[in-house]
Each structure stands twice: as structure tokens, then as C-alpha cells.
Amino acid sequence: MARPIIIDTDPGQDDAVAILLALASPELDVLGITTVAGNVPQPLVTTNALRLCELVGRTDVPVFIGAHQPLVRELFTAEYVHGPTGIDGADLPDPVTTAQPKHAVDFIIDTCLAAGTDGVTLCPVGPLTNIASAIAREPMIIPKIREIALMGGGFFAGGNTTPVAEFNIYVDPDAASLVFNSGVPITMFSLDVTHKALVLPEDLDRIRAIDTPVGEAVAGMLGYYERHDVEKYGIAGAPLHDPCVIAYLIDPDLFTGKACRVDVETESELTVGQTIVDWWGVTGAEPNTMVMSEIDRSGFIDLVVERIAEL
């Protein structure tokens, strides 16, 4: 039976690939897509989610508008990485479909409460505002959440937005702190593993060779997106951060990690948004997160290319 998931997202080119990978995978039942301001503001993130569903003919997947800003802070966005639309590099038409009238947080709560014994897996690949809001408003969903598989944070790799803070956590550290302390099983894909999920030039050639509208859109997005990381880090291609979450749900053997205690700094101006990962167990605190650290890069890329080719 396909695993029921909700994708919580702020598309974003790498978010876009994560959405497409999920929609191409029979192992997953995408119950809905909830949007959160992050890489670009609302309503652009919602428009992008609708565009992507229409690109692959999956208008049956409902899209729900979520948070316009973090819980208590001003919104910080990343057009400097993703371009003014968030998915620059793909010339997708404006959507003809519209988002659902129900708020994203209400959808998350209602879906979790109605879930069967297998529960629902939440897949946040943007700031954690919607997830935190749902848990805070209705704690009864906690036992119905099978797992939160999220992209965010960093430990040995540091940060990509400040010296110590990764973007998704930095945008709403208060939400992240609530989620990590919720008691829900969490699997975390930080920069330490996602920076190893590189799309190299030869991989981009494979995607272009698919020669379909979806392959063309993905190749265009990644061709635009890689310029920032190649210049900033001196690496050979673009890290596919967010698709790691979806690839893990399809094939967990692609990743290895370690159970650790993870906390989020919310007070210090210098380190706000830092994920403090007790990798060596020095605090003696009970682990609350499976922190992934290694990836089978070739297996991961093969999975992404094969599934994109099927759309």
C-alpha cells in the first residue's frame, strides 16, 4: 500500500524536483501539497505548486495555502538563490487551477485526525511554520503523525544563510524548535547530507536527454539553480536538498544516519536558527531525531532521473 504523505513546501527549484519525484512514485500517496512562505513569498509559492501539478497532469492533488510569514518574525526570502519566481529556469504558464479554500494548517490537522492506523507522514521541505502551527493548535495529531521527514539544518557543514544556520530553520527557528520538541519521530536531512546529493553536469545531460516537457522544465530549473552553489561553494553542481526527503521515503537504503538529540537556537542574535546536533552524545539527552549524514549519490540520481522520465 502506498504511504500517505503531505508535502509542505515553498517552491523553489529543489522543492519542485521533490514534488515531481513524489508525484512520479507509486510508493507514495500524495494526499495534498501545503505551501509556506520561504524561498519566495505567498502567493508565489502556491502558484508554483499549482504550476507543477498542472505540468504533470496531476490536478487531482489538492494544494492548500499556508503561512504568509513565520510565527513571530519577519519573513526572510531567497530570491538571490531561486530567482524572482522561485522556479526560474522553467517557463511554466500561469496555472488555470486554484488552491483549495481550506487553510493548509486546517488540512494538516483534519487529515492527521482522520488517518488510519498507519498515520500520515509529513514532508516539510521549507520553513516549519505550518507544521508547528498544526501541532500547537491540535496536539491530538501527534500520535497520528507516523514521521516528519524534513529538510533543514546543519551540523558539521554549518549553515548556508548564516555561518551556523540553514535557510529553512533560520526563516522560522521558533517553529523548528517546537517541531523538534514535539515528540513526533523526526528524520532530518541537513546540509551535511544534501550537499552530497549533487547533480553533476553529466546528470543534467541525462535529464535533458529525457526530451519531454517535464525533463525540459527540470533541466532548465536546475541549470539556473546550480549557478549559486557552484559560485558560492566551488562545487561541481547543484545540491538537490529537498528531493532527499522524498527519495528516502521511496528507498531508505539510499541514506545512513544516526539518532541524535537536536535543538534549535532561538535567542542568540549571533546563532539564531542553528541546529545543535549532539552527534557524540555528550549531553546524555535522549535522541529526538534520526540525523542523516551519508547518501548513495549515484543511486539517488538514478532514482530521480528514472522517475522524472516517467512523467
pLDDT tens profile 48-105: 999 999 999 999 999 999 999 999 999 999 999 999 999 999 999 999 999 999 999 9
Q: What single DSSP character describes residue 2? A: P
Question: What nine digits make up the cell of 245?
Answer: 526527503
pLDDT for 233: 77
pLDDT (average), residues 159-177: 98
Query: Residue 22: is its pLDDT beyond 90?
Result: yes
pTM of the model: 0.97
Mean pLDDT check: name the lowest of 84-98, 137-151, 218-232, 283-297.
218-232
Torsion angle defined by CA atoms of residues 268, 163, 136 and 76, in that order, rounded to the nearest 10 degrees = 100
Is the distance from CB of 108 to CB of 82 less than 8 angstroms? no
Q: Where are the domains of the chain?
A: 3-309
Nearest to 121 by CA among 244, 256, 8: 8
Give CA–CA dist 90/69, Å, rounded: 26
Alpha helices in 56-127 (DSSP H): 79-82, 104-113
- Local confidence band at 269 (pLDDT 50, 70, 90 cut-offs): very high
pLDDT for 226: 76
Query: How remote is the C-alpha of 224 from its chain's centroid?
Result: 19
Respond yes or no: is residue 103 known to be catalytic.
no
Alpha helices in the chain (DSSP H): 13-23, 44-55, 79-82, 104-113, 129-137, 167-171, 173-180, 191-194, 201-208, 213-233, 243-250, 297-309
Query: Mean pLDDT across the chain, nearest whole number?
Result: 96
pLDDT for 82: 95
pLDDT for 292: 98
Query: How remote is the C-alpha of 201 from its chain's centroid?
Result: 23
pLDDT for 287: 98
Task: Tell me the pLDDT tens digit for each residue of 276-286.
Answer: 999 999 999 99
- What CATH architecture is 3-309? Alpha-Beta Complex (3.90)
- Local confidence band at 265 (pLDDT 50, 70, 90 cut-offs): very high
Question: What nine digits make up the cell of 291?
Answer: 540525523
- The single residue of 68, 82, 228, 241 carrying the catalytic annotation is 241
